[in-house]
Structure 1
Amino acid sequence: MIADLNKDRPVRAALLGAGYIADWHAGAIQATPGVELVAVCDTSQAAATALAETYGIAPYTDLATMLDAGICDAVHIVTPPQTHRMLAETCLNAGQHVLVEKPVALSAEDTLAIHEAALANDRIFAAGHNFMGTPGYMRLRDAVEMGRVGCVAAAEINWHFPLAPLRSGPFGLWLLQEPRNLLLELGPHLFAFAVDLFGPLHIEHVSLSKPIAIPGDTTRPQSWRILATAGRVAVTINLSLVETMDDRSVTLHGSTATARLDYANDVLVIDAENAADIVANPFLRQMSLAGQHLREGMVNGVRQLVSLNRKSPYGLSFFGLTGAFYTAIRTGRPLDKRFSGDSAVAVMTAIDAALALLPKPEKKPKPATRKKPKPSVLIIGGTGFIGRDLTRAWVARGRDVRVLSRGQSGPFDDIADHVELFGASLSNPDQLAAAMDGIEIVYHLGKSLDATWDAALKNDVGVTETIARAANASGVARFIYTGTIASYDMSDPGVTITEQTGFADDMTDRNIYARSKAECEARLLEMHRKYALPLTIARPGIVVGKGGPLQHWGIGRWHGAGAVRIWGKGNHTLPFVLNEDVAEALILMAENDAAIGQSFNLVGEPMLSACDYFDAIHARLGARIKVKPGNLTAFYASASVKYALKKHVLRRGGLSNPSLADWKSRAHFSPFDNSLPKAVLGWAPEARRDVFLTKAIDEADLLGF
C-alpha cells in the first residue's frame, strides 16, 4: 500500500485545521516515532501562523498550495465536520493518507465515499475515534477476547459529561446548530466502542429528555437514551450533557464478570466472583477491586507525573490513534480495525439509524417582520454571554444591531429583522471598515486567550488597536471597550479599588489575560488622547445570570460540576454583578456624553462571598457542591514548579509565571467602590438580595435541569 514511501525518512504529516483539537493531534504526531510534523493549513492566516510558530512548522492558508508543494505524506483533517468529505477526498486523490477527526462525515453515505476514495487511491483512511486508543481500552478488548468476562449479555456505554455551551454559549457552534448535530458530534465515541467490541448495531429505540431552550432558536435535548442490539448483546447508550459528575464509561455484563472501563480516566476494573467460602468471598472480592483501583491509580499517576501530563488519558488516546495510523503507513499492514474505514462506515450507519428515529424537528422561530435591519450599533463579541444580553437590550430600545460573527447562524433568529450577522476578520482593516458602515456605536467585547505574551500582543492587543483605528476612521460616536477587573492588583483586603486606583506600572508578573487587557486599555487611552478616539472603558466584575456557567473560574478552580477549590478561604465578599445590569451599564455609557474618556468598574452591590454563593445554590437548587478553600501560596508554588519544568525540561518558550500577588488577586480580596458608574451614568445594579439570587441562580440554568 505504501511502496512509494521513502523508508529513509520520516513520514511527513500535516494538519488541516488549526483549532483547539489540532493541538492534541500535533502533540501526538510529535510523540510518534518515525513521523515528522511539517505543516498546518487553515483559512485563517492568524490561526495557521500561531500554530505553526508553536511547533516550528510551515503555515498555509490554501490546501491546494500545500498539496502542490509536495511536503507531506499524510494529512490530519481537523476542520468543521461539514467539510470533512470534500477535504478528505481532495487529499486522498492527491495521494495523501488521511486521518479524519470525528465525526468523520455527516452520514454513512459520505463516510463510505471517503472510504471508497481511499481504496481507489491505495491510501489509508483512519477515523478519529480516539478514545479507543487508550491502553485501558486495549486491555478491555483483550479481556473480552480471552474470555475473562465470559459471554457478554449486555453493555452500557455512557457519556455523562456537562456541555456548558448548551447553557452559556457560544450558540453559533456547529454542534448546536441542529439537534442532530449533538449526536453526530459525540455519538461516534460511543457507537465506535459497540461496533468494535460486538459488530454492527441494530438501533431499536431513541428517547430524548431534559430539553433546554437555545436563545433565538428551538430546544436541544440534553439527554439521549439509545437502545440497540449487536448480535446477542443488548446495548444501551446513554448521552447526558447536563451538569453531572463525569462518567464516561463502558460497562460489560458477562457470564463470568462485570468489566467497567472509565475511558476518560483510563481505569479498567473487572469484578468477578471467586471460589472462596461464603465468609471469605465478600472480603476477597472487595480486596480484588481495591487492588485493581490502587494499581490503576498508581500507574496513571506515575505516568502523568513523569510525562508532565503529556500522557494524560486524553493525550494517550490520541497517541494510540496516531500510532496505529502511522504503523499502518510505515509497514503496509492493514490499519487496526478500531480506526478502519469499514468501522467508520458501520459507526455512521448506526448513527444514521438513530437519527432516523428522532422526532420531527421544531420549526425555528421567525422574526415578526421580514424587514432588513438597518444597524447603528456594532457589537464585536455579540454572541457571547454579555453580548447576547446587550444585543437584545438594544433591540428592545428600538435600535438595530450588527453582530460580528464567524457564521451565519446565531442566537437571534427570533429577532433577525433587527439583528444583522456580519462576517469580518478582526485583523483586516478593509473588512472592519465595511462592518462599521452606518454604525454610530461600537462595542468591543472580544477577548483572546493566549498561552504566550507574544501571541497576546498579536491576537489581543494588535487586534484591538486595528478595531479601534477602523472605528475612528469611520467616525463612530462611541467606542466602548470591555477590559477586566482582573487587571487590578486585588491582593490586599485593606485597599478599596476605584477607577482612580490604576494598574501597576510593571505588569510582567501578572497572568497573560490580565496583562493583555491592561495593555489594550493603555493603547486605547493613548489613541483617545492623540486621535480623539471616543473611548469608554468598562470593567465587569464576576458576571452571573442566565446563560452564565456553573463552573465560573472567577470563583475558584473547578473539578467537574461537583467540586470547586475556592481562590482563598471564600468568606470575603466577591464583586458579583448580574449580566443584565452589565448590559444596562454598557447602554448608558453610549447614551451619556460624560462617559467619553472614562472607565467604569461594573461591580454590583456588595452581597455574597463565595461560600454564600454556593450555600445559595444548595438551598435553591438542592445541589451541594463540594467546596474547599484554596491555599493561594500553594497554588503559586505548584504553578512555579510546572513553569520551571515546562521551560527547562520541555524547552517551551514564551510562557509566563504569575507572581504570588497575581494568584492572590484571583481571590478578589480588595473590595470595590461602585459609586462612579452610579453617579455619572445613573446606573442602579440590583441591590435586593433575594431578587439577585433569583436571577443569578434560580433562572440561570446552572445545572441545565
Structure 2
Amino acid sequence: MTKRTRVGIIGAGYISDWHADAISATPQAELTCVVDTNLAAAQSFANARGITAFGSVQDMVAANAADAVHVLTPPEYHRAVAEECIESVLHVLVEKPVALSTSDVETMVKAAKDKQVQFAAGHNFLGLPSYRRLKSLVADGKMGAVSTAEINWCFPLGPLRSGPYGIWLMRETRNLLQELGPHLFAFMQDLFGDVEILHLQTSNEIVLPGGETRPQGWRILARAGGVDVTLNLALVETYDDRSVVLRGSSAMARLDYAKDTLVVSGVNTADLVMNPLRDALGQSVSHLREGMVNAARQLTSLNQKSPYGLSFRGMCEEVYTALAEGRPLDARFDGDSAVKVMRAIDEALALLPERPVLVRPKGTPQPTALVIGGTGFIGRALTRRLAKNGTHVRVLSRGKTGPFDDIADKVETVAVSLRDQDALEAAMQGITHVYHLAKSEDDTWEAALENDVAVTERIAHAVLNAGVERLVYTGTIASYDLSDPQVTITEQSGFGADLENRNIYARSKAECEARLMALHRDRGLPVTIARPGIVVGAGGPLQHWGIGRWHGAGAVKIWGHGENILPFVLIDDVADGLILMAHSDAALGESFNLIGEPMLSARGYFDAIHHKLGARIKVSSGQLGILYAADAMKFLLKTKVLRRRGLSRPSLRDWKSRAHFSPFDNRKPKEVLGWKPEPSKDGFIKTAITDAGLLGL
C-alpha cells in the first residue's frame, strides 16, 4: 500500500478551501490539520473538515501532525513560514507568489535542498488536463515551429474599484503583477524556457480612495526559447479571457485555462471552396467536445471538478505522487522553475516607471469617532463624510494602512484584533461615537457565532466599559422575510420565527441585533441599529450580489422576475443616515431601515446602465423554486456525501427574500432623524450609475 503524506494547511483564508478539497481528493495525501494565528478561524475550518486546528506552526510541529504543508499566508509571510517548516523537515508547497523577490525564492529553495525536503511552487494552472495536452502538442511538434504566443489575464479585479484597499494585493502597484503575473509567467517559462523581458507598459490608471493610482492594463513583451511572447492583463469589467494562444507553422492552439478547454486549428488540404468550411467545422467539433467533456466531468463529480478545482487537483496529484514514488518533482512545480518565474517577474518590475509619491497632509488626528470596518464600502464613505464634517476618525483595520492618505490629518488607521477586549477598550479612549460596520463571511452557524456574534458582543462590552456615548450597529434588511409582495416592511416588522432556516449572514446579523438590544435593556448599552438597503454608488461593485448571481461582467441572473422595485439606497445617503443616528437622542434604542425612495427595479437598473454607459448586460430571470431545489440538492450532497458540518439548511422563503418582493416604508428615518435620501430618479441614476465608475473605464 502506498504511504500517504499527512498534509497541513497554513492559513485559513479563501484559497484554503481549494487546497483542502484538492488534497482530500489526492490518493497519496491526507489532510490532517490547519494552522492560523486566528485560532478561531482555524477551528472553524477544522470543524467543517474533521481535522485538527493549531494556532502556530510550532504547535503543529510539536504535535507531529503533518509531513508536508501548504503555505497559504499573505505573500509577505511566505518566506518566513516556509523556512520555519523546512527547518522542521517538512515538505512545503508555497502558494503564488512564492515570495517577493528572486533572492527570497532562491534562499527558500536552497534551504529545502539542504534539508532534503520537497519544495513546490503553487502554479496551479499548470496542473490542468488541457494544459498538459497543449504542452504535449508543442513537445511532439504537432504545432510546427511555434513563433509567437499571447498569454492573457483579462478578468475584472473588483478591489480596484470597490476595495478592500488594505489587502496586500492593493498596497503597491508592483503587488498586482506579483499576485497575478505568476500564472502568465509560469506558462511562458514552462512552455518555452528561460525568459527575457523586452518591454513593459501600463495603462488605464484608476484613482484609489486616498489619491494613489493603479494601472488596470498591463502589456509585457518578452522572448523565451526563440518565441515572441505578449502578456496582457486587463483588470476592468471585461469579458473573461484567461487564455494561452500559440501560433505555429502547422496549427494555432487556444487554451482557455479558466474553462479548461483546448481548441486547435490546423491547416487542411481542401480546395479554396471547402477549406473555410472544413476549418470552421473542425473548430466547432473541438468546442463541442471540450464542452461536453467538462459538463460530464462536473456532473459526475458533484461539481467538485470545476476547471479551477481541477487545476489544484492536478498540482497536488503530481506533488504527492512524486513524494510517494520517491522521485524528483516535475519541473512545472519545482523550486528551480519557481526561481526562474520570479526572476522574470523581477525583470519586468524593473521596467515599471517610478510613480509619484503622494504627499500626506500634515497634522495629527484627534479622533472622537471610531469606525470598525472603516475600509469597507460603507465604512470608507462614512469616514470621509465624518472627516468632511470636521470630525476626526480612528479606523480599526486588519492592517496599519487604509485608503485615507489624502486626509491623514483627520483620520488614523490602527490595527486592532476584534478578539482582543483590552485592545478594543484602549482604542475607544477619547471616543464618543462608535460605528460597527464589520461583518464576517461564514459558511457555518458555529463560525458565525464566533466570528460575528461574539465579536459584536465584545465590541458592545468595550463600549460600556469605555463610556462611549453611542454605538451605531449596521444590521441588514436581509434578516427580514421579504418574500411576500403584499407585506410592507417597517421597523416594526419582525424577522420571523424560522431564522434557523435562513442564510447564515441574515441569521447572524439578526442574532447580533437581539443581543445588542438585550444589553440595551439590561445594562443601558447606548445602541442604535441601522439596516441599509442595496447600497450603490461610487466605490461599489458592478457585480452586486444583492441584485443577482453574476456570470462575469456581462451577464446576471437576477433574483426572481426583476420587475419589482428594489430597496436601493445611495452610499452617501447611508453615511448621512448613520451620522444622524449617532447624534439623535430619539434614535437611542431604536432601529432604522435606510432605504431610498422607490426608484428602479432590477431590470430598470440594468436598462439605465445600458442607456448611460452603453453596456448591455445580459439579464435573465432566476426561477426561485428551481434555485431552491438546486440548493437543497447541494445541501444534501454536501452533508450526506461530502460530510460537511454546520451548513445552513436551504429555505424557499429565504430564496424569495433575495428578490426583495416586499416593499419598504422609509418614513421613520425621515421623520425621526430628518434623513433626506435622494428624491430624484435622474439624480439617483447619475450618482448610482453615470458617475460611479462601475466598469473601470
Per the TM superposition, whether the score is higher than 0.5 is yes
Residue in 2 aligned with 1:594? 586
Residue in 2 aligned with 1:230? 224
* Range that drifts further, 544-553 or 42-51: 42-51
Distance in 2, Cα, partners of 1:118 & 1:704: 43
Contact 1:457 1:516 in 2 (8 A): yes
| TM-score (norm: length of structure 1) | 0.97
- Does structure 1 residue 91 correspond to structure 2 residue 85? yes
Contact 2:4 2:324 in 1 (8 A): no
Identity %: 62
Distance in 1, Cα, partners of 2:73 & 2:651: 37
* Deviations 1:654-701, CA, capped at 9 Å, x for gaps: 222332121111111111111100001000001112221111112211
Amino acid at match of 1:491: S
Residue in 2 aligned with 1:186? 180
Residue in 2 aligned with 1:359? 353
- Does structure 1 residue 152 correspond to structure 2 residue 146? yes
* Range that drifts further, 507-516 or 204-213: 507-516
Residue in 2 aligned with 1:212? 206
Residue in 1 aligned with 2:294? 300
* Range that drifts further, 640-649 or 618-627: 640-649
Residue 618 of structure 1, CA deviation: 0.8
- Does structure 1 residue 379 correspond to structure 2 residue 371? yes
Amino acid at match of 2:492: Q
- Does structure 1 residue 445 correspond to structure 2 residue 450? no
- Does structure 1 residue 679 correspond to structure 2 residue 675? no
Alignment of 1:39-78 (within 5 A): 39-78=33-72
Amino acid at match of 1:208: T
Contact 1:487 1:514 in 2 (8 A): yes
- Does structure 1 residue 370 correspond to structure 2 residue 363? yes
Residue among 696, 700, 703 paired with 2:688:
696
* Deviations 1:162-182, CA, capped at 9 Å, x for gaps: 000100000001011000000
Q: Matched residue of 1:456: which SS?
A: helix
Residue 64 of structure 1, CA deviation: 2.2
Residue among 237, 255, 258 paired with 1:261:
255
Alignment of 1:501-520 (within 5 A): 501-520=493-512
Contact 2:47 2:645 in 1 (8 A): no
Q: Matched residue of 2:53: which SS?
A: strand
Amino acid at match of 2:214: R
* Deviations 1:198-225, CA, capped at 9 Å, x for gaps: 0111111111111101111410000100
Residue in 2 aligned with 1:537? 529
Structure 2 unaligned spans of 5+: none
Residue 491 of structure 1, CA deviation: 1.1
* Deviations 1:635-668, CA, capped at 9 Å, x for gaps: 1111112112222222222222332121111111
Contact 1:218 1:365 in 2 (8 A): no
Residue among 497, 501, 505 paired with 2:489:
497
Amino acid at match of 2:218: W
Residue 447 of structure 1, CA deviation: 1.1
Contact 1:480 1:535 in 2 (8 A): yes
Distance in 1, Cα, partners of 2:501 & 2:16: 30
Alignment of 1:225-624 (within 5 A): 225-367=219-361, 369-371=362-364, 373-624=365-616
- Does structure 1 residue 12 correspond to structure 2 residue 3? no
Structure 1 unaligned spans of 5+: 1-6
Distance in 1, Cα, partners of 2:200 & 2:420: 46
Amino acid at match of 2:363: R
Q: Matched residue of 1:508: which SS?
A: helix
Q: Matched residue of 2:500: which SS?
A: coil
- Does structure 1 residue 198 correspond to structure 2 residue 200? no
Q: Matched residue of 1:338: which SS?
A: coil
Residue 320 of structure 1, CA deviation: 1.0
Amino acid at match of 1:599: S
Amino acid at match of 1:329: L
| TM-score (norm: length of structure 2) | 0.98
Residue 8 of structure 1, CA deviation: 7.1
Residue among 120, 124, 128 paired with 1:134:
128
Q: Matched residue of 1:366: which SS?
A: coil
Distance 1:658 1:65, change over 3 A: closer
* Range that drifts further, 418-427 or 694-703: 418-427
Contact 1:213 1:220 in 2 (8 A): yes
* Range that drifts further, 301-310 or 424-433: 424-433
Residue in 2 aligned with 1:173? 167
Contact 2:2 2:28 in 1 (8 A): no
Distance in 2, Cα, partners of 1:320 & 1:651: 23
Residue 427 of structure 1, CA deviation: 2.1
Distance in 2, Cα, partners of 1:105 & 1:12: 24
Residue in 1 aligned with 2:627? 635
Amino acid at match of 1:370: G
Distance in 2, Cα, partners of 1:42 & 1:454: 17
Amino acid at match of 1:575: P
Residue 9 of structure 1, CA deviation: 4.4
Distance in 2, Cα, partners of 1:22 & 1:639: 23
Residue 286 of structure 1, CA deviation: 1.7
Residue 284 of structure 1, CA deviation: 2.0
Contact 2:635 2:650 in 1 (8 A): no
Residue 76 of structure 1, CA deviation: 0.8
Contact 1:483 1:537 in 2 (8 A): yes
Contact 2:557 2:621 in 1 (8 A): yes
Q: Matched residue of 1:403: which SS?
A: strand
Contact 1:217 1:365 in 2 (8 A): no
Distance in 2, Cα, partners of 1:8 & 1:434: 55
Distance in 1, Cα, partners of 2:611 & 2:238: 18
The alignment's C-alpha RMSD in Å is 1.2
Distance in 1, Cα, partners of 2:338 & 2:260: 23
Distance 1:415 1:469, change over 3 A: same
Distance in 2, Cα, partners of 1:502 & 1:338: 57
Residue 490 of structure 1, CA deviation: 1.0
Distance in 2, Cα, partners of 1:120 & 1:178: 34
Alignment of 1:85-124 (within 5 A): 85-124=79-118
Residue 325 of structure 1, CA deviation: 1.2
Q: Matched residue of 1:29: which SS?
A: helix
Residue 143 of structure 1, CA deviation: 0.8
Residue 416 of structure 1, CA deviation: 1.6
Distance in 1, Cα, partners of 2:588 & 2:246: 65
* Range that drifts further, 636-645 or 237-246: 636-645
Q: Which runs of 4+ in 1 moved over 3 A?
A: none
Q: Matched residue of 2:65: which SS?
A: coil
Distance in 2, Cα, partners of 1:636 & 1:65: 43
Q: Matched residue of 2:687: which SS?
A: helix
Residue among 8, 20, 24 paired with 1:30:
24
Distance in 2, Cα, partners of 1:640 & 1:51: 22
Contact 1:216 1:365 in 2 (8 A): no
Q: Matched residue of 2:15: which SS?
A: helix
Distance in 2, Cα, partners of 1:176 & 1:457: 30
Q: Matched residue of 1:149: which SS?
A: coil
